[in-house]
Structure 1
Amino acid sequence: PALPLVFKGRGELVEQGVDILSQQTPKFLAILGAGGMGKTSLALHIINSSLLKDKFARRCYFIPCELFEDAEALVLGLIHVMELNMQKNQSKQKVLFDHLQTAHGDLLILFDNFETPWNHSGSRIGVKNLLEKIAQHNRVSLVVTMRGSGGPSDIPWEKLGSKSGIPTLLPDAAKEAFKAFAGDILQNTEKYESDIDSLMNQLEYVPLAIRLSAQHVKRVSMKVLMRMWNTHKTSMLNEDGRELDRLTSVSFSIDLSIKLFRITGNTLRLLSAIAFLPDGI
């Protein structure tokens, strides 16, 4: 996937991720957190660093896990992105693991939105076994992006951010991102500063909410946008003309997080997923 054009306030996390994955031994990096935090954008900037491009060359593979619900589908996805040839009646897993075993250089696999197969009904054991088997190969490093605060399986993940995952943006970075998403309209206009500060605070500096709110500034003034927010809250944070999904609707992203964290004992994770609601729960 292409790198996001607007990417603010994550430089330190990018450096940490690159430092981890650039080490000589295989590493397992988990980018965790609530929905809308920009986990995928962060992962893409990490794996596209010049240092990691030099290390992994063309052996860096991106797997969009929302397309793959179980272990068999993940294996097919890996075979496809690695452009492996299969003979008739040949085991798919054998093709994959033979390739990993005989790799002539270090490989990096990024499993994006890994919560999809991990939480899919009846698929966890198979997905867990597949992930652990991949991790046993001594030339393979792994990155997962995933909602939640704990990495999948018993693999010794190194996590970015805090125990609950990557944080929201700092206020200055949030404002920079909002202005960048809004375009030239706000770049040099000081009179909007207090309104932007207020809106960023109410959005709790969540990247997805910032991007979706900024699109409205291309059509209405900041004053009108603030009135819209005070009236409609998260229901206004949708991307026009697009089917609602985790990347185009804050409400959709919240609902998805709630469904994923409905298991007893995950209360704190649920709270972190919806913490940016202005009135709480």
Structure 2
Amino acid sequence: MHLSVSCGIPLIAPCRSSVKLPPPSPGIFYGRAREIDHIIDLVLHKSPARVAILGPGGIGKTSIALTVLHHPDIQTIYTHRRFFVSCETVTTADGVVLELLTTFGLIHDPQQGILPQQVLLNHLQSLPGGILCLDNLETLWDVETRATEHLLTTLASFSQLTLLVTTRGSRRPMHVAWTRPFLAPIMPLSLDAALQTWDAICEVHNEYSIKLVHAVDCLPLAVTLLANLAESESSKMLWERWEHDKLEVLHTQDSDNRLSNIEFSIELSFRGPKLKDDVQTVQCLSIICMLPQGLHESRISLFADAYSQVLPKFRSSIALLQGLCLVYSSDDGFVRVLSPMRHYIQAHHPLPDHLLSQLANIYCDISLAVH
């Protein structure tokens, strides 16, 4: 796909349908005031803002984007020119162009003799202003990296268009001048915000609710699913099931929906081309998941040397996992994984015996060195 802004092509008025409105903002939404204020400040004071909302699956990136689109200040400025396009089921840049045409209320008529891309560009040239969110961009970006970045660069070339994207991971697409200060990758909720979410669904929480929220590291999707389950069974019974079944507790009837199945949401990260056939990186993640506190950054070289024969890409694997937001660096210097990810890996990608034996040897050596 090639998009270029052309001044020599006349603006042909396209056929029109109704403009698609953004989905509603989430009804239950707590603990993200800092992130919302950050984005709103960029949009209001650093126009035209280009903002990437980053983080792991289930962290609430889409909820943040929709809350921004429905924020009173944004509604006042952009009124009906607030646009939202989900890339979740789109795997080509050309497909996104067609989704954009639908969102803008444009109908491509081949008899007019221009391509869909040019219809889009003509419309954007005449647009007096607007804010556009491309949601779940990683679905497209993983498959067509160059075409996706070219599309983003083209969209960002329109100075009257504010651009938001949400994507799994901690890296922003290249070739776009993302507005500073960057929004940091989204982290789990605070305990207070997680319990507010719980109470909005279940009315009240108790000691078992707190245990459950802690058990999933306050990941918003997991907290929401647990709280919904607690409407029909006691938190105590739910906690007992969690202790025995872990993520199995969160299985729902809608098994192929990332918003109602935590395992499916996690699995999406392993289906992309960056991890699909990368056995070494998955095994590196399995090693980290075996460490209750995570892997201290000062010991990465020790582990890389110990596993050099079987996992020669150990260091680059950790960098890739960090880029995909499957692990994160804590303030105390550890590379850690969130609880739902740990349970998923231990259930679906258990550490092979030979790597487990090597891990035991590493800690024996560490213990001997200490004493």
Query: What are the within-5 Å matches in structure 2 for residues 230-269 of structure 1?
Result: 230-238=243-251, 240-260=252-272, 262=275, 264=317, 265-268=319-322, 269=325
Pair 1:134 & 2:134 matched? no
Unaligned runs of 5+ in 2: 1-22, 279-316, 329-335, 346-371
Q: Give 1:118 shift.
A: 0.6
Match of 1:178 in 2: 198
Q: For residue 215 of structure 1, what is the amino acid of its counterpart?
A: N
8 Å contact kept, 2:58–2:219: yes
Q: Give 1:243 shift.
A: 3.4
- Between 1 and 2, higher relative CO (CA 8 Å, sep ≥ 6) is seen in 1
Selected match of 2:208 from 187, 195, 201? 195
Deviations 1:188-221 (A, max 9, x none): xxxx522222211111000000011111111111
Residue 277 of structure 1: SS of its match in structure 2?
Answer: helix
Q: Give 1:85 shift.
A: 4.1
- State which drifts further: 56-65 or 261-270: 261-270
8 Å contact kept, 1:18–1:47: no
Pair 1:16 & 2:72 matched? no
Find the aligned partners of 1:168 and 1:259 in 2 and give their Cα distance: 23
8 Å contact kept, 1:258–1:270: no
Query: What are the within-5 Å matches in structure 2 for residues 1-281 of structure 1?
Result: 1-23=23-45, 25-87=47-109, 88=111, 89-103=113-127, 105-120=128-143, 123-158=144-179, 161-162=183-184, 165-182=185-202, 184=203, 186=204, 192-238=205-251, 240-260=252-272, 262=275, 264=317, 265-268=319-322, 269-272=325-328, 274-277=337-340
Runs of 4+ in 1 over 6 A off after TM superposition: none
Find the aligned partners of 2:234 and 2:168 in 1 and give their Cα distance: 34
Residue 134 of structure 2: SS of its match in structure 1?
Answer: strand
How many corresponding residue pairs? 268
Once superposed, what is the RMSD of the aligned Cα atoms? 2.0
Residue 30 of structure 2: SS of its match in structure 1?
Answer: coil
Find the aligned partners of 1:56 and 1:161 in 2 and give their Cα distance: 22
8 Å contact kept, 1:31–1:143: yes
Residue 14 of structure 1: SS of its match in structure 2?
Answer: helix
8 Å contact kept, 1:203–1:278: no
8 Å contact kept, 2:51–2:183: no
* Structure exhibiting the larger radius of gyration computed from Cα positions: 2
Find the aligned partners of 1:83 and 1:151 in 2 and give their Cα distance: 29
**TM-score normalised to structure 2 length:** 0.68
Identity of aligned residues (%): 29
Mark the CA change 1:217 to 1:160 in structure 2 (over 3 Å): closer, same or farther.
farther
8 Å contact kept, 1:22–1:55: no
Unaligned runs of 5+ in 1: 187-191
